[in-house]
Chains A and B, each alone.
Chain A
Amino acid sequence: MSPKLINRLLLAPAGLWLLTMLVLPIVVVVVFSFGERAQAGGYVPAFTLEQYLNLPARWKAFQNTLTLAPVGTLIVLLIAYPLAYYLAIKANPKWRTLLLILVIVPFWTSILIRSYAWIFILGGRGIPAILEFFGLEGIRLINTPFAVLAGIVYGYLPLMVFPIYVSLERLDKRLLEASADLGSPPWRSFLQITLPLSLPGVATGCMLVFILLMGEFLIPAMLGGGKVFFVGNALVDLFLQSRNWPFGSAVAVALVLVMLVSVTIYMRAIKRWGNGRDDVSLM
């Protein structure tokens, strides 16, 4: 057998999988989004823009997603950066790997059960009960945007720490020594050396968290109680409750397009801003 044939055979199963389970479903969703709804729910072939023109009916879900996803990303960044800095620069190298594993591992455990923990903490007998003890009565935390943001920070912190840690760990420590030797105070070394050199990690982390937040369903479903809903929640409703497949497809296509557009704008901005500094490269 020629190496080329072997290569093709090796690639065939994964290729087939990508075509049937990824490309085909995406094509079907795009086709459905131009269709019409059948009487009993489901799909009637057609070519109409009706579904897309109807998108403003779900404007609130898009609005919530497009405010809470960037705000959530920013809060996660502000909490994650100091930790990544500590792990990469201050922590004892002997413990570094273990400490890093302890940050990453929660990300891979069930987000369902981790959000459930916050129902517990923010629910009537959790923090509100403690606040009541101190005389602050009638404070509701669960089913508010605050609860959703708490869940977001808890869920996505590990994903932000890791890329920032990697870019800080690569940083040549001699630069900081040189800066100190030349009489620069630590805060200035941080602003002029550490921070700029860690920006690729910041950019990567923000993008990962933002993309995942755009498609979030579980956290708002568990902690937002139907009051704070994302596009993901609207999609579940459209597909499983009202069975409006064509409109649901249009919402899904719109979500992916909004994601692509925001990520492209973001990448452009990062690139333009990074121009002139050859030390800033993406990923």
Chain B
Amino acid sequence: MRIYAIAVYLFLYIPIGIIALFSFSAGRNASEFAGFSVKWYGKALSNPFVMDALQTSLTVALISAIIAAVFGTMAALALQNMTGRSRAFFDALIYIAVMIPGIVIGISTLIAIVTVFGWLNPILVAIWPAEGPAPQLAMGLGTLIAAHSLFNMALVIIIVRARIAGMDRSFTEASADLYATPFGTFRQITLPLIQPGILAGFLLSFTFSFDDFIIAFFVAGSNTTLPIYVFSSIRRGVTPEINAIGTMVLSLSLILLITAQILLQRKRTT
């Protein structure tokens, strides 16, 4: 039993380890280890395309995670007071948002945005009051952030709601009995109790957005995120530089995820 478990853990971590190992190879060839070196990290970090993509990815991940954490928490708080048909409707939409394949979200968002922008742009031209050409709406960072925020918001709602459900109601009742205002109760009782859930939701959202390839592939317009860069590089062939980028991406996700997991686990003990 124990040997089996060890074998599965090796299966889960050896492939990641191999990439990390080869990222330190001095050789030109991606799959031959030829002496220790960090030169591929230097090469990746001084490649303007990589740095550009990294910046795009970080910007999109940060903004969409903030939007999701704020609006998702608000919705989770509202949903706990709701019952009946409108609640069922919201629940259904939230689960659809999480379960529908990313690729279907990607293509449907793409054609919906192109269609809507196709209607709006001539109107913008017609009503543009200032001199010069009217600005045109196009696919880009905004559409990508909006698309990632959808999935992330659903995620935050699910996590925060679980946290609210596990909360001891007697605290908020006691607070109300002691004449706290509803906002005071929220700030001093509810918020501190659900905070680990919000933070975990934020971190998971950030990681999802940072790692997402398929939605970005469709709605990022001419922008390149890091996963899009890596995907198109792999198509051209494996290089040690990709190993270095991959190792950095995995390390960043691992740090964020372990933090999120610790926050989520703590809810069971406090």
What residues of chain A have their CB less than 8 Å away from a CB belonging to chain B?
3, 6-8, 10-11, 13-15, 17-18, 20-26, 28-29, 32, 43, 79, 82-83, 85-87, 90-91, 97, 99, 101-106, 108-114, 116-121, 123, 125-126, 154, 157-158, 211-212, 214-218, 222, 232, 235-236, 239-240, 245, 248-249, 252, 255-256, 259
Of the listed stretches B12-20, B45-53, B129-137, B190-198, chain A binds B12-20
Nearest residue, chain A, Cβ from B96? A22
Rounded to whole angstroms, the CA-CA distance of A108 and B209 in the bound complex is 11
- Shortest Cβ gap from B162 to chain A (Å): 13
7 pairs, CB–CB < 8 Å, chain A vs chain B: A10-B77, A10-B78, A82-B1, A110-B249, A214-B101, A239-B218, A240-B218
Question: In the complex, which of the residues B9, B103, B253 contacts A110, with contact meaning CB atoms closer than 8 Å?
Answer: B253
Are the C-beta atoms of A157 and B8 separated by less than 8 Å? yes
Q: Which residue of B lies closest to A248 (CB)?
A: B107
Total inter-chain residue pairs, C-beta < 8 Å: 218
User: A117–B18 contact, CB under 8 A?
Assistant: yes
Considering residues B15, B72, B101, B208, which has the most beta carbons from chain A within 10 angstroms of its beta carbon?
B101
- Indicate with 1 or 0, residue by residue over B197-236, a CB within 8 angstroms of chain A CB atoms: 0000000100110010110011000000001001100100
CA distance A99 to B8 in the complex (A): 11
Instruction: Point out the residue from A11, A25, A112, A123 that lies within 8 Å of B111, measured CB to CB.
Output: A25
Whole-angstrom distance from the CB of A188 to the nearest CB of chain B? 18
- Give the complex CA separation of A114 and B11 in angstroms: 12
| Smallest beta-carbon distance B74→chain A, Å | 4
Contact between chains at A112 and B230 (CB < 8 Å): yes
Q: Is B63 an interface residue, CB under 8 A from the partner?
A: no
Given A14-B71, A116-B246, A108-B4 contact (CB < 8 Å)? no
A120 near B8 with CB under 8 A, answer: no
Would A29 and B111 count as touching, CB distance under 8 A?
A: yes
**Closest A residue by C-beta to B94:** A18
- A14→B18 contact, CB < 8 A: no
A215 & B230 in contact (Cβ 8 Å cutoff): no
If A7-B78, A79-B8, A109-B250 touch, does A215 touch B104 (CB 8 Å cutoff)?
yes
Report if B66 contacts A (CB, 8 A): no
Find chain B residues with CB under 8 A from A85 CB: 1
Q: CB < 8 Å: which of A25, A106, A123, A222 contacts B16? A: A106
Knowing A11-B78, A110-B227, the reply to whether A28 touches B112 (Cβ < 8 A) is: yes
Check B5–A83 contact: CB distance below 8 A: yes
Say whether A157 contacts B227, CB under 8 Å: no
Interface residues of B in 155-192 (CB under 8 A from A): 157, 182
Q: How far is the CA of A255 from the CA of B238 in the complex (A)?
A: 32
| A109 partner, pick from B99, B100, B147, B257, beta carbons under 8 A | B257
Given A14-B75, A232-B103, are A108 and B12 also a contact pair (CB < 8 Å)?
A: no
Q: Which residues of A contact B9 (CB under 8 A)?
A: 102-103
* Chain B contacts to A: CB under 8 angstroms: 1-2, 4-5, 8-9, 11-13, 15-16, 18-19, 22, 30-32, 71-72, 74-75, 77-79, 81-82, 90, 93-94, 96-97, 99-105, 107-112, 115-116, 146-147, 149-150, 153, 157, 182, 204, 207-208, 211, 213-214, 217-218, 227, 230-231, 234, 238, 242, 246, 249-250, 253-254, 257-258, 261-262, 265
Interface of B is mostly: helix
Q: A25–B211 Cα gap in the complex (Å)?
A: 23
Report the bound CA distance from A221 to B72 in whole Å: 33
Q: How far is the CB of B23 from the nearest CB of chain A, in Å?
A: 11
Measured CB to CB, the nearest residue on chain B to A109 is B253
User: What is the CB-to-nearest-CB distance from A5 to chain B, in angstroms, rounded to a whole number?
Assistant: 11
Could you tell me if B150 and A218 are in contact, using CB atoms closer than 8 angstroms?
Answer: no
Whether the Cβ atoms of A119 and B234 lie closer than 8 Å is yes
Contact of B2 among A18, A86, A216, A248 (CB under 8 A): A86
Residue of A24, A112, A120, A215 touching B31 (CB-CB under 8 A): A120
Further pairs besides A23-B93, A120-B18: 11, Cβ < 8 Å: A3-B81, A10-B78, A29-B111, A83-B8, A109-B16, A110-B227, A111-B211, A116-B19, A215-B100, A216-B101, A236-B103
Docked-complex contact A249 and B111, CB < 8 angstroms: yes
Q: Are B81 and A7 in contact (CB under 8 A)?
A: yes
Who on chain B is nearest to A239 by CB? B107
CA–CA, A6 and B185, complex, Å:
15
Point out the residue from A112, A214, A232 that lies within 8 Å of B211, measured CB to CB: A112
The closest CB in chain A to the CB of B269 belongs to A97
| Chain A residue with the shortest CB-CB distance to B213 | A112
Are B204 and A108 in contact, with the CB atoms below 8 A? Answer: yes
User: Are B8 and A113 neighbours in the complex by a CB distance under 8 Å?
Assistant: no
Instruction: State A255–B11 Cα separation when bound (angstroms).
Output: 32
A8 to B90, CA, bound (A): 13
Q: Which residues of B contact A25 (CB under 8 A)?
A: 105, 108-109, 111-112
